[in-house]
Every structure is written in C-alpha cells, then in structure tokens.
Amino acid sequence: MMNNIKELRLAFLLTPKQLADRLGIKVDVLRQLENSDLPLANEWNEAVALAFRVPTPTISDPDADIGAVVAAASSFHVPEYPICRVGARFAIQAMVAKLGGLNIALDLSEESLANAVQNLLAYAEEEKSAEVEPELRLNRLSQSLQIVALTILQSRGVDPDREFPQTMVIARDGALSLLRIYSQLEQVNANPESE
C-alpha cells in the first residue's frame, strides 16, 4: 500500500462510511484511496490528515507507528473533560465488537453495559479529587477500558488468538478516541458559552 488510510481508519474504529462522510466523498472513492498503489496527491494527504486529526506525513509514511499516532491523536485529559457515560457505553461496546465480534457486542444487555460503565468509571475516576498527572489518569482510563472489555469477553467465552494483544491496542486506542470525542461534546453542550 502507498498510504495508511485503512490502517488509521481501523485504528480509530471508523467505518468506511464514517470516514467518507468526514472527507465529504463517496465510500467507493474512499475504497479506491485505501487500496491505491499510487502515491496520494498532497491535497488528499492533507484532507485525510485533517479528517483523522493527525500529522499529514503520517498518511503516506510506510514506517508510521499507527498505534503511537492514534494514541497521540486520542490524548484524553480526564481533568479537563469528565468522562461521558454515553461515550463510555459506546467505547466499551466498540471494544467488545472489535475484540469479540459484533454479535457479542450487540447481545450485551443494557444492564450489563450499565454495570460495565459503572466499573469503568469507578476505576478510572478513583483518584479524581487528588492532584494526579493527566498521563496517569489517561493510563487508568486505558487500563479500565481493557479490564472491562476483557471481563465481558471472558464471561462470553471468547478465546484470544495470537493477534489479540495487537488488536487490543488498536481497539483501546479507538475507544479512547471515541470516548474523548463524546466527553468533549458533552462538555461543550454543558457550557455552550465556552465555544
């Protein structure tokens, strides 16, 4: 491949339609871009980078560390943005879908998802009142997402394969990104004058 569009889309847990909508193009055009063996024009590199909110060189760099790029783009500052419960629900469900399959994610009851969100928040926000570095809070949130997802998968009898650790990192980073976006939107909606 001559670009990292598909890898980034998967890492951010976006469907082809979601990314195509961000770019203002049709899904067929996105698929052509993802599967192209030709270098992208600068305009495409810039548009895609903007859609992902990542540095432009990342799009065409064959040595780009996608996990690190997604983690940097997904920086989540817990003290600035309280964790959105709706975002946490969808982040958990997205991780379970990525790691265990869509059927398992869709079969989760509302009660089970509510309990998972409660567990996530209990662990991630345990030291909320203390003066804790943002990086430590992000680490707690990251660990919490992984623990909750693993607990759900284990209770459903999912047997991890060799690719599981790598898939877990991609799923976690995408879930953090989703959670960050929901939490920021909730913050803006709660304080419209801050916009």
Confidence of residue 30 (pLDDT cuts 50, 70, 90): very high
135 within 8 A of 58, measured Cβ to Cβ:
no
How far are the Cα atoms of 5, 79, 83, 135, 179 from residue 21, in angstroms, in the given order? Answer: 14, 31, 26, 32, 20
Residue 132's pLDDT band (cuts 50, 70, 90): low
Give the tokens for residue 45.
């590199």
Q: Is the pLDDT of residue 81 over 60?
A: no
Percent of the chain with pLDDT over 70: 85
pLDDT at 154: 93
Please give the biggest Cα pair distance in the chain: 52
pLDDT at residue 78 tops 50:
no
Domains of the chain, residue spans: 5-63, 85-194
Closest CA to 23 of 61, 62, 59, 74: 59
CATH of domain 5-63: 1.10.260.40
Mean pLDDT over 174-190 rounds to 77
